[in-house]
Amino acid sequence: MTTKALLEGGPDDLAGTTVPIVPPGQELKIPHTGGYEHYKVTTRHEDTTEGRVTVYRWWERTEVAE
């Protein structure tokens, strides 16, 4: 079974989306527009159309070095 996360905060086109996380952990690093959006796990859960998922809150962006 794939665990999923609900993204909270960050870029408008990522906020509110549900993404798979394998394996579940403390942080997510999502590639996005030339960098990475970083999300940290919270203790909260949300019921979504994909089932009950853990909420991950945006906390920073890092750029990809060229």
* pTM flag (> 0.85): yes
- How confident is the model over 27-35, as a mean pLDDT? 93
- The pLDDT value given to residue 24: 67
- Other beta carbons less than 10 A from residue 66's beta carbon: 4
Instruction: Tell me the average pLDDT of the chain.
Output: 91
pLDDT of residue 39 exceeding 70 = yes
Q: What is the 3-state secondary structure (H, E, C) of the chain?
A: CCEEEEEECCCCCCCCCEEEECCCCCEEEEEECCEEEEEEEEEEEEEECCEEEEEEEEEEEEECCC
